[in-house]
Amino acid sequence: MLCKRLIACLDVRDGKLAKSVKFVDTQDIGDPVVKAREYYEDGLDELVFYDITASSDKRNIMLGVVEAVAEQVFIPLSVGGGVRSVSDATDLRLAGAEKINVNSAAVVRPELISECAKAIGTQSTVLSMDLSRVAESRDFPSGYEVVINGGRKRMGIDGLQWALQGEILGAGELVINSIDADGTREGYELHLTRMIAEAVSIPVIASGGAGEPSHLVDVLNEGRADAALVASMVHFGDYTVSGLKQQLHDAGVPMRLRY
C-alpha cells in the first residue's frame, strides 16, 4: 500500500505567513522561511506555498520568498498564486519549486493546465481548486461551485466537472480546498473529497478544516485522499509534524516515519 502524505501549507501575504478563516479575517502569524525549515526538520513529506493575494492583486508571485524557502527545505515544494503562464511556471521552477499550482488563471483559461503540463511535466502541474457548497441543481450537480481570486469571485462552474476537466487537460494532482471548512478546524469536507477522489485517477490532496488528528485519519481513509494538507494545527503549535505522523501511523494509516 502506498504511503499517505502529510503536507503543510504556508499561506503567504506580503512576504509573511498568514492564516484566515473561510478566506476572511486574515492575520499575519510569522515567518514562512522559519516555519518551512521547522517542518522539514520534523519530517514533513511535502510543503505547499501559496501567495494568497497574487491573483486578486493581479501581480506575479514573490520569487524571493520562494527562493528563501527552497534553500531551507529538501522535500517537494509546491508553489501557487498568480501563475498565469508557462513563463511564470518556469520562473518558479528555477526558483526552487518542484511543483506548480495553478488555480484562478486556469479557471479563466483552462488551456493553461495543458501548456504547463507540456512545458514542465504532468507530475509537476497541480490544479488547486477552491470550492464552495451550493444547492444541488442542473448547473451544480455535485453541490459545489468553483470560486477564484481567494474566494472573491464565483464562476458558475460545477466543482466535480472542473476536477474531471483538469485531469483531462493534464493536471497530475488536485488540491481540493473547501472554503466552507477552511480555517474552521472542524474537519475536512469528507463528502467533497471522496466524491472527487473516486471520480479521478490522479492523486487528490484534501485541504481545509483540519483541527485534530482524527480529522486527518478520516479524510485519508473515509475521504479517500492521497494526502492531507494542514495549516492552523501546526502553525499555532497545537501539534507537531512528527507527532501527527506518528498518530496517523498508530491509527493504521500508512506513513513514512523517521526512526
- Three-state SS string over 160-195 comes to HHHHHHHHHHCCCEEEEEECCCCCCCCCCCHHHHHH
CATH of the domain at 178: 3.20.20.70
Residue 255, in any domain of the structure: no
Asked if pLDDT for residue 55 goes beyond 60, the answer is: no
- Name the pTM for this structure: 0.90
Cβ-in-10-Å burial (0-12, 13-18, 19+) of 12 comes to buried
| Candidates 45, 51, 130, 158; catalytic one | 130
Asked if pLDDT for residue 259 goes beyond 70, the answer is: no
11 is catalytic: yes
| Candidates 11, 88, 182, 218; catalytic one | 11
Torsion (CA) 103, 79, 132, 18 in degrees, nearest 10: -130
Residue 257, in any domain of the structure: no
* Per-residue confidence (pLDDT) for residue 202, from 0 to 100: 98
Give dist(CA 204, CA 194) in Å, integer: 9
Residue 188, in any domain of the structure: yes
Asked if pLDDT for residue 26 goes beyond 60, the answer is: no
Query: Which domain covers residue 128, as residue numbers?
Result: 5-250
Residue 155, in any domain of the structure: yes
Residue 240 amino acid letter: T
Spatial contact of 89 and 120, defined as CB atoms under 8 Å apart:
yes
Q: Is 7 helix (H, G, I), strand (E, B) or coil?
A: strand
* Per-residue confidence (pLDDT) for residue 20, from 0 to 100: 47
Angle at CA of residue 225, ends 82 and 86, nearest 5°: 25
Residue 258, in any domain of the structure: no
Stretch 175-188: mean pLDDT: 91
Residue 180, in any domain of the structure: yes
Residue 259, in any domain of the structure: no
* Per-residue confidence (pLDDT) for residue 25, from 0 to 100: 47
Residue 9, in any domain of the structure: yes
pLDDT by residue (tens digit) across 128-180? Answer: 999 999 999 999 999 999 999 877 899 999 999 999 999 999 999 999 999 99
Q: What stretches of 14-140 adopt beta strand conformation (E)?
A: 16-21, 24-30, 46-51, 77-80, 99-102, 125-133
Could you tell me how many residues make up the chain? 259
Nine-digit cell string for 63: 520569487
Q: How many domains does the chain have?
A: 1
